[in-house]
Structure 1
Amino acid sequence: MNLLCGFRYVGVSSGLLRHRYQHLAFRQFRLYSRWRKETLPRGDGRDRSTGLNIPFEDHYKIRSHIELLIQDYAKKPIPPITYEYLTQYKSPLQNNEEYMLSIQTVNLLLCYTCRQLQAIQNLPYIVVLNPNIELANTLYLSTLETLLNVEYPYGLHHRDTMVSLLTNFLEEHQDTLTTLAVGFQEVMKFYDHDHVFRFLNLHLRNRISMKMLATHHLALLEQSDRFHHGIRSNDIGILHRDLKISNLVEQVGEFVNDLCSISYDLNVPVNIVEGHDVSFTCIPTSLEYVLTEVFKNSLRAHIERSNAENLLTQKPVEVTIVRNDNELQIRIRDFGGGIPPTVEEKMFDYSYSTVAEKKNDTGAEAYVLPGEHVNNVSGMGFGLPMCKAYMEMFGGRLDIQSLWGWGTDVYIKLTGPSKEMLQS
């Protein structure tokens, strides 16, 4: 029984219609997956042609049904992840709540996975042929297979099944974006830059949503388990109630200064000018990522443009924290000379480098401190675009104002959930 039938078992109107070909596609996808595993060349060069022997016509039909399945789910409307969604269930979860959450999570992951696959398949053939992009495509096909292998609806009653599925998903997709970034850097000269930007922008936001769904689900299960052991949590899944923002700023500042110590053997002080006691309900991991990227740019600017006259390594980067009801604003001000006008208009482009152009430079060192490993998304021109995506996901903003020759102000604006959503 497929996932869409599972919606009817719990009386939830999914708004998704099941087509006749889907039952066949579910079975044939598994057959096709077995065929791929048993017939494609091995990494050690040995032949695996002794696997499933599928005639060409049957193979073509299987591929056609799979394509129809992907296209169907890719077209399903997906509601945005909102605070209403994140706060609909709170620990301790009742059995029916946990079941409903499992159905929602898996169904959304299925739709997102098909959207990612369709977007990759719609790329020009010469782009899809790139080994790194093909690797990303194969990984999403594997995720689709895993989601379809869940026994619906009864498999969703087993917590271990969901924990294993979501944990493996997060582990397998840990480096997906890095793989895609490398692939697009290799094919950029064959593909229009604007098309690359649109693809990556959509792919990035879908990926953030998928990882957020999985992480939130696992966090709710963990908090529910802790509640039954007498440990109450102030969190709601990935939402942290009343997070002390200054503590997070200080932790991120220390982390980035550790990177500076390794790379430059220098540190830059981070001074919280206002807002030491401000607390706010938000997703700490998202804010932490944004703060890290901003501090990396600001501290690097202070260090690289410091001299005997300005002593920028001794001048603090200033942080101001202000809260107004369910809105939080953070201003990070540096005095590192600002952003050149030619760079400022491109700083939200993917794979754009702020590092001085070098021979054979592909832009992979954007936002990277010297000494960092380049196999890092934030080092591939994805830093600021990802920050922007994180902030806009829940109605926030990321604004940058720079005065060339003086310094840069970065404004982080967050909108939090209402008090009614947080009530137990």
Structure 2
Amino acid sequence: MSSSLRQPTRFAVFGVPMGLLTRALEKTPRPITLPYLLAQGGRPGEPATPDVILRSAKYTQQELPVRIARRVRQFYSLPFIVGTNPYIQEVARLYASSFAHLSQVKPIETLEDNDRFVEELQKLVDDHTEVVPTLSRGFLECGEYMDPEKITNFLNAALHSRIGIRIIAEQHLALSATANSARNGDKPSPARLSPTSVGIVDTAMAPADVIRQSSEYVRALCEATFEMAPEVVLEGQVDARTMGIPVHLDYVMTELLKNAYRATTETFLEQRRTGSGPSEIPPITVTLSSTPSHVSVRIRDAGGGIPPENMAHIFDYAYTTANAGGDAANGAGEDPMDVAAGAMQSTMGTLAGLGYGLPLSRLYLGYFGKSSLDLVSLWGHVRMAH
């Protein structure tokens, strides 16, 4: 084999030629804002026009490699013993492969070009579905070799970037889906086109509807785990609307309600065992409050609060109290690695996961810089507010 053929492999990062990566790193990612997504996405409730699709495709094709290249560099900067962990290597090579593949896609000039691009983009989104649980397993295995603060900084940057990458990709996929339905004479599904949506952005999102959907899902999980579940009571301005991305709110509400359902049910069962609690499981109360600038959501449960010694760690990655207190329903006595492996089968398939729910929820809410997640614990009082 000639030296010219060996050179790209010798000077490569996770299989990506260094020159290709360097050129992408010279570019700066453009900020993502909801107004920008709306301005580039066409009119609410209408299929995207060919001009909108081609403009979105160009933006997506240019922006994704720039962002993914930074993730490849970030993995390359890890300490050697951490970077060689098989799970972290798997994610690093997935990003590198995605970067190389997107960098080789020819410029999109026609709707037919976009159709092929959408197929590749959907595959990329699908391939990256398990990035979070795979990363969590990797850092669980090699956390002792890296300072906890540096791990937190790494994961904050990696997962924040992942949110942006998925917003760009899923927005273009959603716009393309509405355009293709119109082009083919099909009736768009409600998930793809609503009267107030522009791609994945809903200009008049109803938080109450999202919360009801999330609570139904978590209630089913709770009943499957404990054979009982509390009711969710919605109160306040339940007709409030705001602009946002429903799938983001759904993720956050699912994670918060998982905590509320589990804590409320476990506390009720313990009180019933000791004969010190109510006769029926208390409800979880969700209060909505709307102002011209924002909508607030408060969750209160009867889960007993969080021990003061745990409060400083609630937003730490991989921190979980799922097995605290010998809870058989959540795998008490099991090796944490086995519990993690089981939870990885689905990022939303158990009431107790890998300890990424709260920190990732905070990243989702704060992505556009206008929302926050606050948690107040009244330890021993059975009231907790998010």
TM-score (norm 2): 0.84
- Which runs of structure 2 are paired with 1:229-378 in the superposition (5 Å)? 229=185, 233-234=194-195, 235-306=197-268, 307-308=271-272, 309-311=276-278, 314-356=281-323, 361-362=335-336, 373-377=343-347
Distance between the aligned counterparts of 1:74 and 1:252, measured in 2?
A: 39
Cα 1:195–1:343, aligned 2, differ >3 Å: closer, same or farther? same
Q: Aligned pair 1:385/2:340, yes or no?
A: no
> 2:327 matched to which residue of 1?
none
The aligned amino acid for 1:58 is Q
**Corresponding residue number in structure 2 for 1:42:** none
C-alpha deviation, 1:60, in angstroms: 5.9
2:169 maps to which residue?
Answer: 214
Alpha-carbon contact 1:116-1:140 (below 8 Å) kept: yes
Shift of 1:134: 1.0
Q: Which moved more, 1:141-150 or 1:256-265?
A: 141-150
Give the structure 1 partner of residue 87 of structure 2: 132
1:66-92: CA deviations, max 9, x gaps? Answer: 224324423532232111221022144
**SS of aligned partner of 2:295:** strand
Q: Which amino acid aligns with 1:63?
A: A
More deviation, 352-361/96-105: 352-361
Worse overlay, 194-203 or 323-332: 323-332
Shift of the 153–219 alpha-carbon distance from structure 1 to 2, 3 Å rule, reads closer
1:149 counterpart residue number = 104
Change (3 A) 1:300 1:272: same
Could you report, residue by residue, the CA deviation over 1:225-269 in whole angstroms, capped at 9, with x for unpaired residues? Answer: 344547674210101232332222222112111101111101111
Counting only pairs closer than 5 Å after superposition, residues 51-70 of structure 1 correspond to structure 2 as 58-59=7-8, 62-63=11-12, 66-70=17-21
SS class of match (2:30) = coil
1:403 maps to which residue? Answer: 378
SS at match of 1:261: helix
Q: Residues of 1 paired with 2:219 and 2:8: CA distance?
A: 56
Q: Which residue of 2 aligns with 1:35?
A: none
Once residues 55 and 146 of structure 1 are traced to their aligned partners in structure 2, the CA distance between those partners, rounded to angstroms, is 21
* Residues 403/363 of structure 1: CA separation in 2 closer, same or farther (3 Å cut): farther
Question: Closer, same or farther in 2 for the Cα pair 1:280/1:63, shift >3 Å?
Answer: closer
Tell me the distance in 2 between the aligned counterparts of 1:69 and 1:108.
15
Instruction: Point out where structure 2 has 5 or more consecutive residues left out of the alignment.
Output: 325-331
- Give 1:158 deviation, angstroms: 1.4
Distance 1:199 1:87 in 2: 31
* Aligned equivalent of 1:100, options 55, 60, 70: 55
Deviations 1:3-48 (A, max 9, x none): xxxxxxxxxxxxxxxxxxxxxxxxxxxxxxxxxxxxxxxxxxxxxx
The question of whether the paired residues in 2 share the 8 Å contact of 1:132 and 1:179 is answered with yes
Q: How many residues align?
A: 356
Give the counterpart letter for 2:239 in structure 1: D
Deviates more, 1:171-180 or 1:195-204: 171-180
Question: SS in structure 2 opposite 1:163?
Answer: helix
Matched to 2:285, the amino acid is: E
Q: Computing the radius of gyration over CA atoms, which structure comes out larger, 1 or 2? A: 1
- Say what the alpha-carbon RMSD is for the aligned residues: 2.6
Report the alpha carbon displacement of residue 343 of structure 1 after superposing the two structures with TM. Answer: 1.2
**Contact 2:58 2:107 (C-alpha < 8 Å) held by counterparts:** no
Cα displacement (A) at 1:195? 0.9
Q: C-alpha displacement at 1:53, in angstroms?
A: 7.0
| Identity, % of aligned positions | 28
Aligned residue type for 1:398 = L
SS in structure 2 of the partner of residue 85 of structure 1: helix
Cross-structure match for 2:152:
197
Change (3 A) 1:155 1:241: closer
Q: Residue deviations 1:67-123, cap 9 Å, x none?
A: 243244235322321112210221443433322211111221101110110000000
User: Aligned partners of 1:385 and 1:55: how far apart in 2?
Assistant: 46
More RCO (CA 8 Å, sep 6+): 2
Cα distance in 2 for partners of 1:58, 1:360 equals 48
Partners of 2:174 and 2:200 within 8 A in 1: yes
Which residue in the other structure is 1:32 paired with? none
Q: What SS does structure 2 have at the residue aligned with 1:276?
A: coil
| TM-score, normalised via structure 1 length | 0.77
Shift of 1:375: 3.5
Asked if 1:174 is matched to 2:107, the reply is no
Contact 1:185 1:362 in 2 (8 A): no
